[in-house]
Amino acid sequence: MESALAVPRLPPHDPGTPVLSVVDMHTGGEPLRIVLAGCPEVSGPTLLAKRRYMRQHLDHVRRRLLFEPRGHRDMYGAVLVPSELPDAHLGVLFLHNEGYSSMCGHAVLALGRFALDFGLVPAPAAGTREARVNIHCPCGVVTAFVACEDGRSHGPVRFHSVPAFVLATDLMVDVPGHGKVVVDVAYGGAFYAFVSAEKLGLDICSAKTRDLVDAASAVTEAVKAQFKINHPDSEDLAFLYGTILTDGKDAYTKEPTTNICVFADEQVDRSPTGSGVTARIALQIHKGLLELNQARAFKSSATGSVFTGKAVREAKCGDFKAVIVEVSGQAHYTGTASFIVEDDDPLRDGFLLK
């Protein structure tokens, strides 16, 4: 007789609360939890309006998906929504431990595979080796190119970014505990501060993660307090997402250059950070350290995973000289889940430990 435990079914739960069904993936170790079903409709005429609506009215969904006991403080999520743009195959809202991002490269790499495998884009013609997926992110449309075989994803994904540009170089900020520190600020769909870990007395490859997080967070808070971020297209995009500590090897070499990204509320990216790679390449182009179509490898100090990137063409963003950057990486599926709520659970909307 087949055991009753072998028959999939949901445990007791509140029937008035939708079950959140998800697919979990990771890209270079950085998780992505994609909502399949159970999220209420996200209202708004544009994607940025939908982002504001979700923050104001549906933030409990983010907390239930990402926070403990269903997730952890470094979990990352994606809610798929319709796009108002005719050339976009899907729209996406990115969720993290503090709120909602404007861009996420590791998620785009994963969503490229997901969109193809779950039928969100037309099936590629027989013999097609790469499928195109236009993903409308809050920062704009990002095109993913998904390696495929017999109509299913197979192998790495690459994407072409929105215009990436440098907002400030050699910016002097006063960082508590570290004194005057020179940083750069660049945009790759989100704004980051960049500084060599060595300037903060740390070795990017051997320092404890906690020490890197503390230093990066101090830089982020200092830049936020002492420098105004602006974006030529929208105030919704004008915020500092985090700080990326590097090994200082900004000049081109064939060896990977290492970095770690600390974003949102001290959240640590396990991957090399797709939007961070985008911004870092824009910074290296701006400084004359890299040429168009010169590819570099970027390694995460957290996991050792590697993305490759290159600037493929020049562009503009408002009055800023910009570049379109191609970033490549590999995403993997890790599982599926159905998340429920019991109506008497005092921790139903999740919690985080500091």
What is the DSSP code (8-state) at residue 236?
G
Residue 246 and residue 194 in contact, taking contact as beta carbons nearer than 8 Å: yes
Which position among 39, 104, 137, 261 bears the catalytic label?
A: 104
Calpha distance 175→158 (Å, rounded) = 36
Dihedral class, residue 87 (left if φ above 0, else alpha if ψ from -120 to 50, else beta): alpha
Annotated catalytic residue 205: no
The helix (H) or strand (E) run that includes residue 41 is: none
What distance lies between CA 239 and its chain's CA centroid? 15
Q: How many CA atoms lie within 13 A of 41 on its CB side?
A: 3
* Distance, first Cα to last Cα, the chain: 48
Calpha distance 238→80 (Å, rounded) = 23
Residue with tokens 């010169």: 294
Residue 305 identity (one-letter amino acid): S
Residues with a known catalytic role: 104
